[in-house]
C-alpha cells in the first residue's frame, strides 16, 4: 500500500506540512514490496480485508477511524514487533532476491503506543 501525499509545491525541503493538501491524497495498492523503507506494517486476516478497505475509504482523519485503523497496524511498542519484522523481511527476500535489502526502519511510524498493536 502506497499513500501518495499531494504537495502543492515541492520547491522547498522544509515546512512540508504547509504545502500538503490531504483532499488530493490517494492510495495505490501494489503487489509485493515497493521499497526497503516501510512506514508501517499492516497485518490483516482474510475476513478483515473488507473492513480495512471501508475504513480507508471513509477515513477523514476522524479520531474513531484513526483508532480503528490501529487495529491493523504493528506498533513499534508491540512485543511481537520483531516477529512481524522478520516475517516481512523473509517474504521480501523470497519474493524478490535481486532487489532485496534489509528494511531500514528510520522512516517507520515513530509514535509508539504502549499496550497497543
The predicted-structure confidence for 70-81, as pLDDT tens digits, reads as follows 889 999 989 999
Q: Please report whether residue 104 resides in a domain.
A: yes
Q: What is the pLDDT of residue 115?
A: 52
Question: Could you give the percent of the chain with pLDDT greater than 70?
Answer: 91
Q: What is the pLDDT of residues 12-25, one digit of tens each?
A: 878 888 888 888 88
Q: Please report whether residue 50 resides in a domain.
A: yes
Q: Is the predicted pLDDT of residue 28 greater than 90, yes or no?
A: no
Q: Which residue has the higher pLDDT, 106 or 9?
A: 106
Rounded to an integer, the average pLDDT of 23-45 is 89
- pLDDT bin (cut points 50, 70, 90) of residue 100 is very high
Q: Please report whether residue 97 resides in a domain.
A: yes
Tally the domains of the chain.
1
Q: Please report whether residue 95 resides in a domain.
A: yes
Q: Please report whether residue 12 resides in a domain.
A: no
Query: Is the pTM value of this prediction over 0.85?
Result: no
The domain in which residue 69 lies consists of 46-117
- pLDDT bin (cut points 50, 70, 90) of residue 44 is very high
Residue 101 CB: number of other CB atoms within 10 A?
Answer: 13
Q: Please report whether residue 115 resides in a domain.
A: yes
Q: Please report whether residue 25 resides in a domain.
A: no
Q: Please report whether residue 21 resides in a domain.
A: no
Amino acid at each position: 500500500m502506497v499513500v501518495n501525499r499531494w504537495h502543492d509545491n515541492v520547491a522547498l525541503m522544509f515546512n512540508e506540512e504547509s504545502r500538503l493538501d490531504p483532499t488530493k491524497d490517494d492510495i495505490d495498492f501494489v503487489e509485493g514490496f515497493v521499497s526497503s523503507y516501510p512506514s508501517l506494517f499492516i497485518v490483516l486476516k482474510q475476513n478483515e480485508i473488507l473492513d480495512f478497505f471501508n475504513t480507508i475509504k471513509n477515513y477523514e482523519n476522524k479520531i474513531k477511524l484513526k483508532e480503528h485503523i490501529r487495529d491493523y497496524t504493528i506498533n513499534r511498542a508491540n512485543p511481537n514487533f520483531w516477529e512481524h519484522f522478520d516475517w516481512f523481511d523473509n517474504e521480501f527476500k523470497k519474493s524478490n532476491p535481486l532487489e532485496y535489502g534489509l528494511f531500514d526502519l528510520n522512516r517507520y511510524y515513530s509514535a509508539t503506543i504502549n499496550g497497543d498493536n
